[in-house]
């Protein structure tokens, strides 16, 4: 299992700059395709920021990082609550750890 961090940020024009962490978790799980291998999500929100820790079953660290980033990008495209948000550059390019 791989752990990856992903950070989202709101643009100045984002309609909603503060979101409830439970809402974000629900949005992400609704979009988490089984093939991403996501097992657990931890979300912390603040004004204009969302920080996620994504635990996934993946073939390697890079695949785990891409799963987390892909989930977030899909949520931004799909969820009206995330209109005006973006994945911070490089946020998911650094897998944090592997736990067996």
Query: Pairing relation of β-strands 85-87 and 49-56?
Result: unpaired
Domain that holds residue 52: 2-98
pLDDT of residue 89: 86
Number of domains in the chain: 1
Taking Cα atoms as reference points, which of 73, 63, 4 lies closest to residue 32? Answer: 73
Per-residue pLDDT tens listing for the chain (100 residues): 899 999 999 999 989 889 999 999 999 999 999 998 999 999 999 999 999 999 999 888 888 899 999 999 999 999 999 999 999 987 555 555 555 5
With CA atoms as reference, report the closest residue to 24 among 15, 33, 32, 35.
Answer: 32
CATH number, domain of 74, equals 3.30.70.420
């Amino acid at each position: 299992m791989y752990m990856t961090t992903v950070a989202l940020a709101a643009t100045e024009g984002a309609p909603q700059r503060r979101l409830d962490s439970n809402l974000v978790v629900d949005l992400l799980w609704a979009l988490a395709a089984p093939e991403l291998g996501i097992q657990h999500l931890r979300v912390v929100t603040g004004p204009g920021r969302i920080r996620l820790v994504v635990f996934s079953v993946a073939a390697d660290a890079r695949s785990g990082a891409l799963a987390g980033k892909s989930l977030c990008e899909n949520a931004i495209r799909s969820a009206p609550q995330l209109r005006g948000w973006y994945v911070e550059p490089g946020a998911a390019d650094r897998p944090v750890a592997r736990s067996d």
